[in-house]
Amino acid sequence: MVTFSHLEGAFVTNFPYLDNMSVDPRIPAIPRRIVSGETGATPDLGLPDLTPIEVPEIEDPGREKTLVTRRILVLLGQHEISAERVGIKLAPEDLKSVFAALRQHARTGSAPELPARDEIHQYILDSIFAELVEEPSNILYTTKTGPDTMRYDAMKPEFWSECLDLLEKNLCP
């Protein structure tokens, strides 16, 4: 039994916990929320099934690599133009270091600091990395899950690394 005798008008309750209690008897008690683990039952919250799904294999990987590398080449071309405007000439070693950082990010989620000649060069390399690191989640593949529904899946890290290898092989001999 819990007694609040220090309050105006002593309040006594038989609840072993402080649940369902209010200090003022004129204020109705708030019912205690039951956690699903306490009852053993799983509540139906109306949420969709959140179990991990298996992303299907790409039907034509060669064609997809070509499309992805073309997209990346356009982005690299835009960055090269921007770099030239500020007096920076991108070398194959610059692209190799960006590609290596992108591959490491795909594997581990982190990336090393890119080696640069000066602050402007560092900014250019960081900008290229920042834009390209988002590409795997920007390129979506569709999977038909029902008669009227589609699921969109991001590119797998392994496939992204293969695209980067192809780019590096062609751009940085």
pLDDT in tens, 81-128: 999 999 999 999 999 999 999 999 999 988 888 988 899 999 999 999
Global pTM reads: 0.63
Q: Among 46-55, 65-74, 104-113, 137-146, which is the least confidently predicted range? A: 46-55
The domain spans of the chain are: 1-31, 61-171
CA distances from residue 123 to 89, 101, 113, 116 in whole angstroms, order as listed: 13, 15, 11, 9
| Cross-strand partners of 142 | 152
What distance in Å separates the CA atoms of residue 139 and residue 117, rounded to the nearest whole number? 32
If one compares 112 and 57, the residue with the highest pLDDT of the two is 112
Q: pLDDT tens across 5-33, in order?
A: 444 444 444 444 444 444 566 666 666 55
Q: Among 33-37, 141-145, 169-173, which is the least confidently predicted range? A: 33-37
Output the CA angle 162-77-123, nearest 5 degrees. 90
